[in-house]
Structure 1
């Protein structure tokens, strides 16, 4: 089974043999890939009990938990990589979750849909309605996305907090696009950040 495009980028940039925490790991697809191809010691935290069961069924170490609450229990720098993929915008307190991620991981991957993509803008401008796209398939009333951020919002947030960016990738569909116009052209962003307790 092939990985979703953002997960494939993350998997390509995780060093072999790393300790990894995948927060909001879904059914464990990324964890399984990291275990099998990178010999990573991968652990997962997932809110949905059906996804937890699917991941455990793959032989993965996943517990049911909430990123907004349960990350505080992990020790500082306890993982080489902490990963939050397509989950930040669903958190009740995304700034606090990001802070926890940077505390417990020597490096942190964060990926999210870009709500400033031109299709989103066009839907609001010409249709006057919240967009429904391939990456944002839910309607306004049933979406898990409660914090709508853009690439430029996230870049500004990192700068304000002095968070070092070690890498960034931007996707239009499943293909990489330029970083220069990412706020307009990218549907999806992936950032690799330096943890606050990197040794």
Structure 2
């Protein structure tokens, strides 16, 4: 199955047979891959009704809901993994959503675009305007992104909260790049966290 690079990293690192909640699951591409390749028990939460319909049409267990308000309804430790891919920056209270993820799942995968990538910096420096890139394709007034974060911001958050990082992957384009200078070089980050 052809997955987005961050989703492929997540799929490769979920234990076979695990219980997974994919928050902001989109059309269910990751859930379908996990079900087919890892035999996981995957559930999804998605805000967009069209994406919910597409995921359900794939035979996936997805409900419509909002990460900002509906995660509190899930019991603690109900899942082995809670996944939040390219959704953190669209939530109203990312800190509360992360707390809920780590309450619901024993571990949490979080992926997000890095707003400190050199192309973003260059766009602001030379053009003086919010960037439009392959990973951030919408103009500032169209984007669902309301909390722009960087890899270094996220690392500081993890340290402040006393969370453990079990894995971190950094993408430049569709390829992995080293952790060295990731805040400058990586367009996208994937973290695997636990309390």
TM-score category of the 2 structures, normalised to the smaller one: over 0.9
SS at match of 1:22: strand
- The alignment status of 1:190 with 2:194, answered yes or no, reads no
1:98-155 residue CA offsets vs partner (Å, 9 max, x unmatched): 0000000011000000000000000000000000000000000010000000000000
Alignment of 1:59-70 (within 5 A): 59-70=59-70
The TM-score normalised by the length of structure 2 is: 0.99
* 2:57 paired residue number: 57
Across the aligned residues of Structure 1 and Structure 2, the Cα RMSD in angstroms comes to 0.5
* 1:33 paired residue number: 33
Q: Distance in 2 between matches of 1:156 and 1:57?
A: 40
* 2:20 paired residue number: 20
The TM-score normalised by the length of structure 1 is: 0.97
* 1:115 paired residue number: 115
User: Size of the alignment, in residue pairs?
Assistant: 195
Q: CA deviation at 1:180?
A: 1.3
* Structure 1: runs of 5+ lacking an equivalent: none
Q: Distance in 2 between matches of 1:116 and 1:191?
A: 17
Q: Distance in 1 between matches of 2:138 and 2:164?
A: 33
* Structure 2: runs of 5+ lacking an equivalent: none
Q: Distance in 2 between matches of 1:29 and 1:100?
A: 23
Q: Distance in 2 between matches of 1:34 and 1:148?
A: 29
Q: Distance in 1 between matches of 2:118 and 2:26?
A: 28
SS at match of 2:135: coil
Q: CA deviation at 1:189?
A: 0.1
**Runs of at least 4 residues off by over 6 Å:** none
